[in-house]
Structure 1
Amino acid sequence: MSATQMDMLWMAYGKAGAVGSIRHEDDLFHVVMSDRREIGAYPTLEIAKGALISHLKPGTDRPEFRRV
């Protein structure tokens, strides 16, 4: 893994603000919801995004993911 891929952070934003984050560390993508619940660690960013989305309330629009 290159240095540019280490310790990246993506924030997930919905209509009401931040709903969670995804942190890339140790070759895994760690998902944390805005209420600080840790959802888990996943092998790819797309799987991590899906996990975060699956923990939103039913009917919630898909959040926008921004790398910060």
Structure 2
Amino acid sequence: MNEQTAGNETRHAVWVAYGTGGVVGSIREGDDGWTVTMAGADRAGGTYPSMEVAKAALHSAMTPGSEWPRFEQH
């Protein structure tokens, strides 16, 4: 996992997904997998066993016909 430790706190990486119209969602790395949250959603859409599966899940939740988003780590 891609973790950073600050004091007693462990921080996991976050990737933001950008579509043609801006931010479409994010993927957060956690102890139990990779959690997808779509932009504007009240809660996470699901947790997946790998980053590649999470990326595919995020893309499939976008408007049909959307191009593959650009992912940037934050």
TM-score, with normalisation over the residues of structure 2?
A: 0.81
Distance of 1:31 and 1:60 partners within structure 2: 17
SS in 2 for 1:38: coil
Name the residue aligned to 1:26.
Answer: 31
Q: 1:60 to 1:3 in 2, by over 3 A?
A: closer
Gaps of 5+ in 1: none
SS in 2 for 1:46: helix
Q: 1:28 to 1:60 in 2, by over 3 A?
A: same
- Give the greater-gyration-radius structure (CA): 2
Match of 1:60 among 54, 62, 66: 66
Structure 1, residues 15-37: CA drift from partner, whole Å, max 9, x if none? 11000000001141000000224
Q: Sequence identity of aligned pairs in percent?
A: 43
Q: 1:3 to 1:62 in 2, by over 3 A?
A: closer
TM-score, with normalisation over the residues of structure 1?
A: 0.87
Higher relative contact order (CA 8 A, sep 6+): 1
- Please tell me the residue identity of whatever aligns with 2:15: W
More helix by share: 1
Q: Where has structure 1 moved over 6 Å in runs of 4 or more?
A: none
Gaps of 5+ in 2: 5-10
Distance of 1:33 and 1:60 partners within structure 2: 14
